[in-house]
């Protein structure tokens, strides 16, 4: 079985580089391997003998550019090289790499970018320390404005390696070659959109080193949770596959709960029940078949239902209403110590009241699934949670604060556990941005938790399966389609 993908922050990657050097691979050798990988990738984008312009910066990323330029010139490409700053200011391995380059070095503003068939962007990598302005801004503006394809070295210059943010301006690449492991910026937006196709080149830094220096951040893929996915045994009966309870909103707000319920059923929860306010029982009954229905009048009703221990996973939030009654239902579910997924109105009902949730979810597996707006409302008044530039850090802090797994939605969904583990999900599709898509996601997660999948793995698997289902459908997707696409995704996973 393949191991989960390790994603390293720029500072962790630096530690890994240093460790590899300490274990005997000279820095210049790492740089030569990196530069060779860039040259190999450039060959896929530029036909033999064509013109390649390499834009090198003042640090070690620029050094990779010099290595690639030297190799590509040796392979018969017509390579021109522009440098930001002067040759005599280069240090370390970059200075050594520059010595191997026998061609001309021109100031970057003199590089004939328009005439290039390919531009190699080796301006800045993981060492970017401030916003681009003046000459650096101008250089990126010219690269992007050239209309020529750009191959980024390590990451598109101007993108913050740790957060994926654009620092003033950033290169828009068609392809990026990074080294040893992806960095957060390759998965987080907008960095992911700037990077194009990302290729990870092995430069000889072993997984043991990457795991020792990183190890808590992952790309969300099946390797992270496939072993936890439930597979019913020959003699399984439905009660062994869990019973998910989804609370419905009032008579005109019932669809969201049914979407979540359907998703829970499709992902394998043995039974699923919609807990409906009395006035909405008729509407819900008219729409449900395999899913069961129970009257549930507010928090007292929920309390009564949860006396039956077989209801082992609860979804609260979709269209439930923003009010004290919803908060009281959350309190009932927390007290009952069930697997719990809180979304939408269950989060917004705590607007500005996050302190009521401090440590609240430590005692039972809980997943919170806010989008950015819900997250901002929930943690209003908590700058320590809201202010970090990194989405990973925001999710981690919210998880540590609440004791729940926090799944912070978006095109770059981040899932963080209270113990510090985090994963970035990047397999979705913009077609998932459709009403009710989030309701389906929380049903998937709850349905997995009902089958005893631990909260972090359930959230990661739910997000990935949701993304995969959406991507498999594409244009025209509506949220009713999503649950029906789940079996196809599961077949691929469980084969």
Ligand X SMILES: NC(=O)C1=CN([C@@H]2O[C@H](COP(=O)(O)OP(=O)(O)OC[C@H]3O[C@@H](n4cnc5c(N)ncnc54)[C@H](OP(=O)(O)O)[C@@H]3O)[C@@H](O)[C@H]2O)[C@@H](O)CC1
Ligand Y SMILES: Nc1ncnc2c1ncn2[C@@H]1O[C@H](COP(=O)(O)OP(=O)(O)O)[C@@H](O)[C@H]1O
Q: Which residues bind K ion (CB under 5 A)?
A: 121, 152-153, 157
Query: What does 435 bind: ligand Y, K ion, ligand X, none (CB cut-off 5 to 8 Å by kind)?
Result: ligand Y
Query: What does 430 bind: ligand Y, K ion, ligand X, none (CB cut-off 5 to 8 Å by kind)?
Result: ligand Y
- Please give the C-alpha separations between residue 42 and each of 37, 50, 72, 336, 462, in angstroms, as whole numbers: 9, 11, 8, 58, 37
| Of 5, 93, 96, 343, the one binding ligand X by CB under 6 A | 93
Query: In this structure, what are the phi and psi dihedrals at residue 316, rounded to the nearest 5 degrees?
Result: -125, 135
Q: Where are the beta strands (DSSP E) in 239-354?
A: 243-247, 271-276, 292-295, 313-316, 339-342
Of 480, 450, 495, 443, which Cα lies nearest the Cα of 465?
443
Of 420, 418, 417, 408, which Cα lies nearest the Cα of 463?
408
298-305 and 324-335 are packed helices; what angle lies between their axes, rounded to 10 degrees? 20
**By the rule CB under 6 A, 432 interacts with ligand Y:** yes
| Of 64, 345, 393, 439, the one binding ligand Y by CB under 6 A | 439
Residues in the chain: 495
Query: What does 121 bind: ligand X, K ion, ligand Y, none (CB cut-off 5 to 8 Å by kind)?
Result: K ion
Instruction: Give the CA count within 13 Å in the CB-facing half-sphere of 118.
Output: 28
Please report, to the nearest 10 degrees, the dihedral formed by the alpha carbons of residues 356, 360, 361, 364 taken in order.
-140
Contacts with 188 (C-beta within 8 Å, 6 or more apart), sequence order: 163, 164, 391, 392, 412, 414, 424
402 is in an annotated binding site: no
Comparing CB distances to ligand Y, the nearer of 211 and 411 is: 411
**By the rule CB under 6 A, 474 interacts with ligand Y:** no
What part of residues 407-426 is at the interface with ligand Y (CB under 6 A)? 409-411, 413
372 is in an annotated binding site: no
**By the rule CB under 6 A, 298 interacts with ligand Y:** no
Q: Which stretch binds ligand X (CB under 6 A): 131-139, 211-219, 309-317, 352-360?
A: 131-139
Which residue carries 């599961």 as its tokens? 490
What part of residues 45-64 is at the interface with ligand X (CB under 6 A)? 57-62, 64
**Is residue 405 within 8 Å of 382, Cβ to Cβ?**
no
Which residue carries 């690449």 as its tokens? 173
Tell me the three state secondary structure of residue 70. Answer: helix
User: What does the per-residue mask of binding to ligand Y show for 308-347, with x meaning CB under 6 A?
Assistant: ------------------------------------x---
In the numeric block, which tokens belong to residue 410?
A: 């978006």
CB of 88 to ligand X, least distance (A): 13
| Of 8, 16, 30, 346, the one binding ligand X by CB under 6 A | 30
**By the rule CB under 6 A, 22 interacts with ligand X:** no
> Under the rule (CB under 6 A), what is the footprint of ligand Y?
344, 371, 409-411, 413, 428-430, 432-433, 435-439, 441, 466
Bind-site residues for AMP: 409-413, 438
> Under the rule (CB under 6 A), what is the footprint of ligand X?
17, 27, 30-31, 34, 57-62, 64, 93, 124-132, 136, 153-154, 179
Bind-site residues for K(+): 61, 121, 157
Bind-site residues: 60-64, 121, 125-131, 154, 157, 256, 371, 409-413, 438-439
């Amino acid at each position: 079985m393949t191991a989960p993908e390790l994603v390293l922050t720029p500072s962790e990657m630096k530690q890994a580089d240093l460790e590899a050097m300490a274990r005997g691979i000279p820095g210049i050798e790492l740089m030569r391997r990196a530069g060779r990988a860039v040259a190999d990738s450039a060959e896929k984008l530029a036909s033999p003998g064509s013109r390649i312009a390499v834009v090198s910066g003042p640090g070690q990323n620029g050094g990779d550019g010099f290595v690639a330029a030297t190799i590509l010139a040796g392979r018969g490409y017509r390579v021109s090289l522009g440098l930001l700053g002067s040759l005599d200011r280069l240090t370390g391995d970059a200075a050594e790499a520059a010595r191997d380059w026998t061609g001309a070095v021109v100031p970057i503003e003199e590089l004939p970018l328009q005439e290039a068939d390919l531009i190699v962007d080796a301006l800045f990598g993981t060492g970017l320390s401030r916003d681009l302005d003046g000459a650096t801004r101008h250089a990126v503006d010219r690269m992007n404005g050239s209309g020529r394809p750009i191959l980024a070295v390590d990451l598109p210059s101007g993108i913050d390696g740790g957060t994926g943010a654009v620092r003033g301006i950033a290169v828009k690449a068609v392809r990026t070659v990074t080294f040893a492991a992806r960095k957060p910026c390759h998965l987080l937006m907008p960095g992911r959109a700037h990077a194009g196709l990302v290729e990870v080149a092995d430069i000889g830094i072993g997984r043991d080193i990457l795991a020792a220096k990183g190890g808590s951040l992952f790309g969300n893929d099946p390797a992270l949770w496939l072993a936890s996915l439930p597979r019913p045994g020959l003699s399984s009966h439905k009660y062994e596959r869990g019973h998910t309870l989804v609370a419905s909103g009032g008579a005109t707000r019932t669809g969201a709960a049914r979407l979540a319920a359907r998703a829970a059923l499709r992902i394998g929860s043995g039974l699923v029940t919609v807990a409906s306010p009395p006035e909405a029982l008729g509407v819900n009954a008219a729409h449900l078949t395999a899913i069961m229905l129970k009257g549930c009048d507010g928090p007292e009703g929920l309390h009564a239902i949860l006396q039956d221990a077989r209801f082992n996973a609860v979804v609260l939030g979709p269209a439930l209403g923003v009010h004290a009654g919803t908060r009281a239902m959350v309190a009932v579910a927390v007290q009952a110590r069930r697997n719990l997924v809180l979304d939408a109105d269950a989060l917004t009902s705590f607007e500005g009241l996050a302190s009521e949730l401090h440590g609240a979810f430590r005692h039972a597996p809980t997943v919170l699934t806010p989008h950015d707006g819900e997250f901002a409302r929930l943690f209003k008044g908590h700058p320590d949670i809201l202010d970090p530039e990194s989405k990973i850090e925001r999710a981690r802090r919210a998880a540590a604060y609440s004791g729940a797994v926090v799944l912070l939605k978006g095109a770059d969904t981040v899932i963080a556990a209270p113990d510090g583990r985090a994963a970035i999900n990047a397999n979705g599709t913009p077609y998932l941005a459709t009403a009710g898509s989030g309701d389906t996601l929380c049903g998937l997660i709850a349905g997995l938790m009902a089958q005893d999948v631990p909260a972090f793995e359930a959230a990661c698997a739910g997000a990935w399966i949701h993304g995969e289902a959406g991507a498999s459908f594409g244009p025209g997707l509506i949220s009713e389609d999503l649950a029906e696409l789940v079996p196809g995704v599961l077949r691929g996973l469980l084969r």
